[in-house]
């Protein structure tokens, strides 16, 4: 389990630059698929055919991660940058980033007289060891992802891109375990979620599913003085009821609760007041679909140490298999 998770979470793949992640996932899923294709935007779409008696189902887990992009090179050779997705400035100073060619840069910041304040992104820079703009080896428009090795402390798993490589892992593992299904299931490893759920939208338009499930992380309320939320690490899969972008299909929520209870799969109910997932795109594409989300509880989302619990990951895999292996009555 951890070997595959480590490969996924340490891979380079900011939004729009997911090729390397897709190349890792494709050989993992191909032996279990009836059809594998890549669409024009870069989504990896893996189809497992059912017996014809079920529904058309789309499962979405996004391959991309937050990152940065170079906007300007100073005359001294330092790189100014903008965000790719929800990058927070709080933990940037001293962080390392990696470009597609493997080059590492160090993030610094302009002088701050009042150390109780935090610079915005525009006051940070990346140092790649250049002495001038002329000898800088990185160009404007180059993307970089954060660098932080995977770490396992017992069942607590931490990495810079659990969001959403752990969702990709859940999809891969569920596909491997799904011996048969009545449904026509399309596993979509989507692109550009962090910049507007774009990949899932194009895939949903093309697939036109009856039912859609996103697999993504959600925040927790189990650390000191955090925003109150009824989600904790180690207490099971989170069944989303609502987030800021969608209200989940009530019949699908009921079905997930029933399947989890009957199979003794630990689960908890999620209401997320900020943020959304690929399920939003699936829900409103074409004529709409019954959409929901299985969430993996995660501490420190959009940091370089996003942390999940192995038992929750296993619960999410088990719940997804339970849903896909049997008929759905919504």
| Residue 174 and residue 30 in contact, taking contact as beta carbons nearer than 8 Å | no
Give 123's strand partners: none
| Residue 44 and residue 26 in contact, taking contact as beta carbons nearer than 8 Å | yes
Domain shared by 47 and 169, yes or no: yes
Domain shared by 38 and 18, yes or no: yes
Question: What backbone torsions phi and psi does residue 248 show, to the nearest 5 degrees?
Answer: -65, 150
Q: Nearest to residue 241, comparing CAs of 318, 287, 294?
A: 294
Domain that holds residue 93: 67-146
Q: What is the pLDDT of residue 308?
A: 98
Q: Give the other-Cβ count within 10 Å of 132's Cβ.
A: 12
Domain shared by 221 and 121, yes or no: no
Domain shared by 254 and 214, yes or no: yes
Q: Nearest to residue 47, comparing CAs of 161, 140, 196, 183?
A: 183
**Residue 152 counted as domain residue:** no
Q: What is the pLDDT of residue 283?
A: 96
**Residue 155 counted as domain residue:** no
CA angle 19, 22, 24 (to 5 degrees): 115
pTM: 0.96
Domain shared by 83 and 57, yes or no: no
Sheet holding 35-38, edge to edge: 35-38, 44-48, 184-190, 56-62, 211-218, 290-297, 237-242, 267-271
Longest dimension (CA), the chain: 67
Q: Which whole-number Å values give the CA distances from 34 to 29, 51, 152, 184, in the listed order?
A: 10, 13, 34, 10
**Residue 257 counted as domain residue:** yes
Q: What is the pLDDT of residue 227?
A: 85
**Residue 154 counted as domain residue:** no
Q: What is the pLDDT of residue 85?
A: 96
Domain shared by 198 and 278, yes or no: yes
CB within 8 Å of 288: residues ≥ 6 apart: none
Domain shared by 51 and 98, yes or no: no
Candidates 18, 28, 193, 194; catalytic one: 193
Q: What is the pLDDT of residue 90?
A: 86
Domain shared by 105 and 38, yes or no: no
| Residue 9 and residue 26 in contact, taking contact as beta carbons nearer than 8 Å | no
Q: At 173, which CATH number?
A: 3.40.630.10
**Residue 284 counted as domain residue:** yes
Domain count, the chain: 2
Domain shared by 42 and 190, yes or no: yes
Half-sphere exposure of 168 (CA within 13 A, CB side): 33
Domain shared by 40 and 10, yes or no: yes
pLDDT digits (tens, 9 = 90+) for 102-155: 999 999 999 888 777 888 899 999 999 999 999 999 999 999 999 999 999 999
Q: What is the pLDDT of residue 120?
A: 87
User: Containing H/E element for 240?
Assistant: strand 237-242
**Residue 44 counted as domain residue:** yes
**Residue 153 counted as domain residue:** no
Out of 113, 146, 179, pick the residue that ends a domain. 146
Out of 91, 119, 146, pick the residue that ends a domain. 146
Domain shared by 54 and 71, yes or no: no
**Residue 118 counted as domain residue:** yes
Q: What is the pLDDT of residue 266?
A: 98
| Residue 68 and residue 143 in contact, taking contact as beta carbons nearer than 8 Å | yes
Q: What is the pLDDT of residue 114?
A: 79
Q: What is the pLDDT of residue 163?
A: 95
Helix axis angle, 162-177 relative to 310-325, nearest 10°? 50
Active site (annotated) includes residue 193: yes
Q: What is the pLDDT of residue 1?
A: 82
Which regions in the chain score pLDDT beneath 70? none
Out of 91, 124, 146, pick the residue that ends a domain. 146
Domain shared by 105 and 222, yes or no: no
Q: At 71, which CATH number?
A: 2.40.30.40
């Amino acid at each position: 389990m951890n070997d595959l998770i480590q490969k996924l979470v340490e891979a380079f793949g900011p939004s729009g630059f997911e090729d390397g992640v897709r190349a890792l996932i494709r050989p993992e899923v191909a032996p279990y698929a009836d059809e594998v294709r890549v669409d024009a935007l870069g989504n990896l779409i893996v189809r497992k055919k059912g017996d014809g008696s079920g529904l058309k189902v789309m499962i979405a887990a996004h391959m991309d991660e937050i990152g940065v992009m170079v906007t300007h090179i100073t005359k001294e050779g330092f790189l100014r940058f903008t965000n790719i997705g929800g990058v927070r400035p709080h933990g940037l100073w001293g962080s390392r980033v990696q470009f597609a060619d493997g080059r590492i840069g160090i993030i610094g910041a302009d002088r701050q007289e009042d150390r109780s304040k935090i610079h915005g992104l525009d006051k940070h820079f990346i140092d790649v060891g250049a002495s001038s703009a002329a000898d800088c080896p990185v160009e404007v428009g180059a993307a970089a992802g954060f660098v932080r090795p995977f770490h396992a402390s017992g069942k607590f798993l931490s990495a810079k891109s659990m969001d959403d490589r752990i969702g990709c892992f859940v999809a891969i593992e569920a596909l491997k375990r799904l011996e048969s299904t009545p449904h026509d299931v399309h596993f979509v490893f989507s692109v550009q979620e962090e910049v507007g759920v774009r990949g899932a939208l194009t895939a949903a338009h093309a697939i036109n599913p009856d039912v859609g499930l996103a697999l993504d992380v959600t925040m927790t309320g189990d650390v000191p003085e955090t925003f109150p939320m009824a989600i904790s690490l180690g207490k099971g899969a989170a069944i989303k009821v609502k987030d800021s972008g969608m209200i989940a299909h009530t019949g699908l929520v009921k079905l997930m609760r029933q399947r989890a209870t009957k199979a003794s799969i630990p689960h908890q109910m999620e209401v997320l007041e900020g943020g959304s997932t690929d399920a939003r795109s699936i829900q409103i594409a074409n004529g709409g679909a019954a959409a929901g989300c299985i969430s993996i509880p995660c501490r420190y989302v959009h940091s370089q140490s996003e942390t999940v619990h192995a038992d929750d990951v296993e619960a999410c895999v088990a719940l997804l298999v339970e849903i896909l292996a049997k008929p759905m009555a919504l």
